[in-house]
Structure 1
Amino acid sequence: MTRIRRRSAVALASIAGASSLLLAACTQDASSTDGTESVAPSASSEPPSAEPAVNGVDAKQYASSDPESDAFGFVTPSGKWLCAIIPDKKLAGCASHPTAGPLGVPGTPQIASPDGGPPAEADLIAVEAGKEPNFQNWNEALFPGNANVLPYDTTLAVDGFSCNVQFSGVSCREDATGKGFTVATNGYKFEFTPLPVSIPSVTPPPIAPTAAPLPQQARGSNQCGPVTYPETGKPATVVIVKGTLRCDEAHTMLTKYFTGRDKSEPVYSFDGWECRLAGDPESAEIGYTINCTDDNGNTVVAQP
């Protein structure tokens, strides 16, 4: 009887030893190669996947009408910001509207001027592909022409970039990295602010853009939205150089000038205004400056 028990114990010990060796062998095959540890790829090592745009709009409705411009732009409902996604520059950014001057946001730094002049307050906050969000100074328009309004709580997504508008501010990001910025009148941060995700019970109707309202500024030295030369289809920048005229009043006046003037005369008077052409009318294909003054001391210039 003692012998049988002893043999059973030996057999159990042999089975346990074999099992231990088998487990060790399997463990070694799964975690090492030639004695070197092999680390399995983790999900965190993959580039972040782009989240779908929340309440996306039809990007075509925000494309520039200029055939030479590859840009998609919008104005915020408040009229404070003009933003654009520019695929050929791999950039999304926002500038002050309508003056395109300094951002005027607390904490905006002084940076180098593009024309080599002294440092000046940045006029653009932007994010570029593969780069950290930053401030820039531009000497060119961020978006040509009149941009449509992007409604609150909607997203414009184009070519790897997304921008949204909320009551708290406007945000843009590079989708692949998630890097971006948020800017508002009371400050900024180099961090994208996503829209809250909601799941509607039914498919919402498409959101149609609306034309950006002309700014209603009271004093002069204001840059207003552009007008178009009827003869050439080229845009002209409207600037109230002097006086208390509003932008919409300046646009109404210039529309009357274009539709009523005698094209053979360099000076045209109407409704208390006198408008003169400055430049060579023979070069109308690129536009020429129009200078208008009235009896109330207002001066409006439209220049190519």
Structure 2
Amino acid sequence: MTRIRLRPAVALASIAGVSSLFLAACTQDASSTEGTESAAPSASSEAPPTEAPVNGVDAKEYASSDPEADSYGFVTPSGKWLCAIIPTKNLAGCASHPTAGPLGVPGTPEIASPDGGPPAEANLIAVEAGKEPSFQNWNQAVFPGNANVLPYDTTLAIDGFSCNVQFSGVSCRDDATDKGFTISTSGYTFEFTPLPVSLPSASPPQIAPTPAPLPQQARGSNQCGPVVYPETGKPATVVIVKGTLRCDEAHTMLTKYFAAPDKSEPVYSFDGWECRLSGDPESAEIGYTINCSDDNGNTVVAQP
């Protein structure tokens, strides 16, 4: 079991009791992702060493259900961002939700692709232990399965990192250095934005997470995070076209399909599922489209 360590938070000295972050777009050299974007400055002071994170939540409620993944993730209440603290990578970061595509905020640079392809707009903003915050490109989901919602004005703190959600955006930091980032739909800054300090109470209320609803596409289907074709290492977008299946169940099914030794046939059946391959020689270079359906009326598609 992972030992949970809650780190000190940084207090925000508010002027006239009002705290807000104004994020602005800016132009940045694509060859470098480090630096600080224009944003309203905020005054801060060191919190007492014994002070717990402001409005801290139980990190166990946000732990991945995948025993192979040592990570703690959450979705913001707006449903726009999926963030995770990953102790094995000494990193905290946020990606666009639910598509896991480019971040899509003003000023996001294009950087090298992880598979050696041409530079592309970054799909992750992150801070690593002892390093400057930066943009990155990942070809895997930042958090496996479905993550719970982290309520507004609360903090998830684990293994030397802290992340909080405010109406102005989501923010994460390396507790040891206080270096971090804040991102919203209107922009970003390579600075951590602490929650306003609240007065401690004798018995603080328990803040329970809520399950993140499945994201809805225009035609009513559910788009989940990507999977990776083992043969090519290329990501595929997972879409629940029909049914009541959860994203983590769709990922589990596809993972089992990929691991099947005899799935080379155009149609492969297993555990009540029937999966079909479709595509042409060009699309085969990055992966065929996979269409799977079961007896319960669920249909899942993985497409390059």
Q: Distance in 2 between matches of 1:59 and 1:110?
A: 33
- The verdict on how the C-alpha distance between 1:59 and 1:267 changes in structure 2, with shifts beyond 3 A counting, is closer
| Secondary structure, counterpart of 1:251 in structure 2 | coil
Paired residue for 1:216?
216
* Cα deviation 1:97-145 (Å, max 9, x = unaligned): 1110000111100000000000000000000011100000001111111
8 Å CA contact 1:183–1:189 kept in 2: the answer is yes
Paired residue for 1:87?
87
| Mapped pair 1:144 → 2:144 | yes
- Kindly report which structure 2 residues correspond to 1:1-304, keeping only aligned pairs within 5 A, or say none: 52-219=52-219, 223-224=223-224, 239-240=238-239, 249=243, 251=245, 276-278=274-276, 290-292=291-293, 300-301=300-301
Pairwise CA distance, 1:91:
0.3
Would you say how many aligned residue pairs link Structure 1 and Structure 2? 215
- The verdict on how the C-alpha distance between 1:121 and 1:250 changes in structure 2, with shifts beyond 3 A counting, is farther
- The verdict on how the C-alpha distance between 1:267 and 1:176 changes in structure 2, with shifts beyond 3 A counting, is closer
Q: Distance in 2 between matches of 1:179 and 1:292?
A: 46
| Secondary structure, counterpart of 1:117 in structure 2 | coil
Q: Distance in 1 between matches of 2:163 and 2:170?
A: 7
- The verdict on how the C-alpha distance between 1:210 and 1:299 changes in structure 2, with shifts beyond 3 A counting, is closer
8 Å CA contact 1:75–1:83 kept in 2: the answer is yes
Q: For structure 1, which runs of at least 5 residues remain unmatched after alignment?
A: 1-47, 227-236, 259-264, 269-274, 280-288
- The verdict on how the C-alpha distance between 1:202 and 1:87 changes in structure 2, with shifts beyond 3 A counting, is same
TM-score, with structure 2 as normaliser: 0.62
| Greater displacement, 138-147 / 197-206 | 197-206
Q: Distance in 2 between matches of 1:63 and 1:100?
A: 19
- The verdict on how the C-alpha distance between 1:225 and 1:88 changes in structure 2, with shifts beyond 3 A counting, is closer
8 Å CA contact 1:238–1:300 kept in 2: the answer is no
| Secondary structure, counterpart of 1:88 in structure 2 | helix
* Cα deviation 1:239-270 (Å, max 9, x = unaligned): 338xxx57xx4638x99xx9xxxxxx9679xx
- The verdict on how the C-alpha distance between 1:112 and 1:51 changes in structure 2, with shifts beyond 3 A counting, is farther
8 Å CA contact 1:221–1:239 kept in 2: the answer is no
- The verdict on how the C-alpha distance between 1:205 and 1:112 changes in structure 2, with shifts beyond 3 A counting, is same
Provide the identity percentage: 75
Pairwise CA distance, 1:185:
0.5
Over the aligned positions, Cα root-mean-square deviation in angstroms equals 3.4
- The verdict on how the C-alpha distance between 1:177 and 1:266 changes in structure 2, with shifts beyond 3 A counting, is closer
Pairwise CA distance, 1:163:
0.2
Paired residue for 1:12?
none
Q: Which has the higher contact order (CA 8 A, sep 6+)?
A: 2
